[in-house]
Structure 1
Amino acid sequence: MRKFVVVDKKARVRASQVKWSLLFCNRTVVQEVEVPTFPLEAFRFRTIPELTSSTLVSEYELFDLVAEVVGKEDLRELVTQTGKETKRMAINLQDLEKNTIRCTLFGTCVDDLAPLMEQERSEPLIVVLHFFRVNRWDGRTSVQSHFDISKVIVDANLKEV
């Protein structure tokens, strides 16, 4: 990368606790370098017990989670504070140790998962939640997608699988 600026993130909404951010401008040049031994899909996996502990994961941190979908609520239409129409769906997730956590999906994450939840399945529905964040409200902890960057990866649609 060339011609970028390093800025203090105090004035921006934080997606992590890192103090500095790279700011690209119209003169920034990024050249892709292919190194087959370097994994391009980087994951920061967290466990459900880590997420439910109020001290281990910040509300600003984006993380990844692997779990089985064990329940869902009906899909709802909603309008955001900025006036954007989108969808919202809540699901229940469970890990191998039977720990559970509620997850709220928005926008394209709902579009990716909702059709699969309607299908008849003989195997559990395993999901990888990529770039999600923790939400603590009213004494409860849940996870939720970020409107712009979160992805729901289902079953074998992941290159590493």
Structure 2
Amino acid sequence: MWRVIEKSTNQPGSIEMVIIDEQGMKIHVTIKQNLAPKFEKLLQEDFAYTFENLCVGINDTKYRRTTTHKYKLNFMFSTKCTNAPSTTIPEHGFDFMRFADISNGKDDGIYIDIIGHVVGKNPIKETLDKDGIMKKLIDFELQDLENNRIPCTVWEDLAIRMYHCLYIEEPSGPVVIILQGCQMKTWGGVEVD
């Protein structure tokens, strides 16, 4: 669950989230800016809820999609959300993409999940982002069980945590990484970001 910042006003906008059911099916949900104050204190991550009276729309955003689901849900003023009892809903709902598909440039405009073990690493460095702001990043290479490899980059806090894991803690065995909600980008090759 995250809050979008409106570019024009730099104020909090809509609340966006991805919810998952007991079968592991994920769907994107939007709470528009004008309804956010009504619902933001009622919802917390890692809790189960039942929802009533939602508006169903086509998941055709102009931005990268968070799920493969054909539809998305929108809260309305009349939407009701109620705490649900403990359930068997999966905690993470991973949907790992094959490295071979990533290497072949398969990009459906969806954020992806990956898992692999670290086979190459570079020290943390700083670079200017597209807005001219200095950002920390670390590049590393992951390998899957089919011996396919992909280059990866993580930024800022995650880069610092990754550097600490790979260089400070000096692990004695393989380091397996799970990244959820990654974006595929191409800079002289395919890279997961």
Q: TM-score, normalised by structure 1?
A: 0.69
Letter of the structure 2 residue corresponding to residue 66 of structure 1:
I
- Give 1:158's aligned residue: none
Q: Which runs of 4+ in 1 moved over 6 A?
A: none
Contact 1:134 1:141 in 2 (8 A): yes
Percent identity of the aligned residues?
23
Q: 3-state DSSP class of the match of 2:146?
A: coil
Q: Which runs of 5+ in 2 are unaligned?
A: 1-50
- Give 2:145's aligned residue: 96
- Give 1:127's aligned residue: 177
Q: Which runs of 5+ in 1 are unaligned?
A: 145-161
Is residue 78 from structure 1 mapped to residue 162 from structure 2 by the alignment? Answer: no
Letter of the structure 2 residue corresponding to residue 109 of structure 1:
L
Q: Which has the higher contact order (CA 8 A, sep 6+)?
A: 1
Letter of the structure 1 residue corresponding to residue 136 of structure 2:
K
Q: 3-state DSSP class of the match of 2:179?
A: strand
CA distance in 2, matches of 1:26, 1:78: 44
- Give 1:42's aligned residue: 93
Q: TM-score, normalised by structure 2?
A: 0.59
| CA shift digits 1:11-47 (9 cap, x unpaired) | 6412256554334578765434244322131010122
CA distance in 2, matches of 1:65, 1:11: 23
Q: 3-state DSSP class of the match of 1:31?
A: strand
Distance 1:27 1:73, change over 3 A: farther
Distance 1:78 1:31, change over 3 A: farther
Alignment of 1:1-161 (within 5 A): 1-2=51-52, 5-8=55-58, 10=60, 12-16=62-66, 20-24=71-75, 29-54=80-105, 57-82=106-131, 85-118=134-167, 119-138=169-188, 140-144=189-193
Larger Rg: 2
Aligned length: 141
Contact 2:64 2:111 in 1 (8 A): no
Worse-superposed segment, 26-35 or 94-103: 26-35
